[in-house]
Structure 1
Amino acid sequence: MRQGLAALLPDLRGFARFLTRDPAAADDLVQDTIVRALAAQAQFMPGTSLKAWLFTIERNAFHEHCRRHAREKEIVGDMENAARENGGENGGAPMTDQMLDLHDMLWQLPDEYRVALILVGAQELTYEEAAQICDAPLGTMKARVSRARSKLAALAGAALPDDEKYNKINEI
């Protein structure tokens, strides 16, 4: 398997450069592909095309990255629009201040809560996938996400004037 991977690196890099149109992003994609392939090597069926299997992994990783990137842009765009709408007239905090506040609040959460919230909320994993990653029961993962959201809402509420608390808590 490892010899086959090494022999196919130039082909993987070429396909990745075609997909990404960026040499640095292509290298990252090839690395991600190799990591995924090694993790899933038990799923490879001997006698089938290793190259096709790797290209499928690479293509899927690329599409996953594109979906994640599009979702991140959508979220940031929504936040920027909300900041423009609220910040211009009401003297609200600029977008960067709000992002820094969120960052600070996230780091005030216990590690288990923060990881659970990031996996389910930001990375859009299912509760089952997040539970598997954290090696925790499904119910525990759901409770961690719920508690993380509640604690974040409380932290956001404490940092906001009374008239903004209700809106921010509902956004979380």
Structure 2
Amino acid sequence: MTSSPEHRIEAELVSHIPALRNFARRFHNSPNDVDDLVQETLAKALNNLDKFEAGTRMKSWLFTIMRNTFCTRYGLTKREQVGLTPDCENRISIKPSQEDFVRAQELEEAIYKLPEKFRTVIELIFIQEVSYEVAANKCGCPIGTIKSRVSRARNMLCKALD
């Protein structure tokens, strides 16, 4: 009595369960989490048996499914807020944007009050994001002078903004 190709593939799939358990232990310490990952991997493999290419290594295919399953689940848990209660005191608060707006205006005013040679290097290096070499060429001075002006401009801005 010969078994059908589906039965052989399913039998091979079952034979890889111990290897899947060992591989799942790399991702989880908890035996329950290991079991869940193996179960989810097997379920996905069974649902997608038609996508398995005969002649390729099933073990590698299963490991790929497991790794992708873990990565997907891990990405979701990083975005979810687990364990938070609906109490108001535990809700995530959002910093008011007005303070950032005010600080940005203060920075803009402080930059405007800088002497022109310092304001120019701040604009070139930090706003236009050009290299020190390009800034030196535009200002007609050595790179060391540009670096010095940037350092002095930073110090002036720190003093102006506390």
TM-score interval w.r.t. the shorter chain? Answer: 0.3 to 0.5
Higher RCO, Cα 8 Å, sep 6+? 2
Larger helix proportion of the pair: 1
